[in-house]
Homo-oligomer: A and B are copies of this chain.
Amino acid sequence: MKEKELRRSLAVLPIGTVMKLTNLTARQIRYYESQDLIKPERSDGNRRLYSLNDIDRLLEIKDYIDDGLNMAGIRKVFTQKQLEQEQFKERLNKSLTDDDVRKILHDELLRQSGFRQVKLLTNSQTPLQKPF
């Protein structure tokens, strides 16, 4: 999936392509940029370069405008969304490391047990075991 993410964030589309893909005018697209709703990269010759993710974002902006939001409102929505996104990733990370710990623990115990059958009530460090 990392491959796909990369493609989607590859900034290669000039503003003309973006216009066709979003049905927005260049004026609108640049204005949204001036309002910090989107931040395209630049080519060597200073041309704006957009990614597929940028396209998605512009379409999202269009939707919000249709819903009656103004630039400030959309900006808020985006920063809020980003916050949630970060929190989600953080939680995901945490749970993953917890899982790692569990896995490590499991392997450790497995090694200690020497692959013998688990006996309950042996002196203290009785290894847990899961049938694979």
Consensus secondary structure, chain A interface: helix
Q: Which residue of B lies closest to A14 (CB)?
A: B14
Q: Which of A12, A14, A20, A21 has the most CB of B within 10 A?
A: A12
Establish whether residues B12 and A17, one from each chain, have CB atoms under 8 Å apart when the complex forms: yes
User: Lowest 7 CB-CB distances: which A-B pairs, in order?
Assistant: A12-B17, A12-B20, A13-B17, A14-B14, A12-B21, A14-B17, A14-B16
Q: Which residue of B lies closest to A21 (CB)?
A: B12
Chain B residues, Cβ within 8 Å of A20: 12
Complex A-B: 9 CB contacts under 8 Å: A12-B17, A12-B20, A12-B21, A13-B13, A13-B17, A14-B14, A14-B16, A14-B17, A17-B17
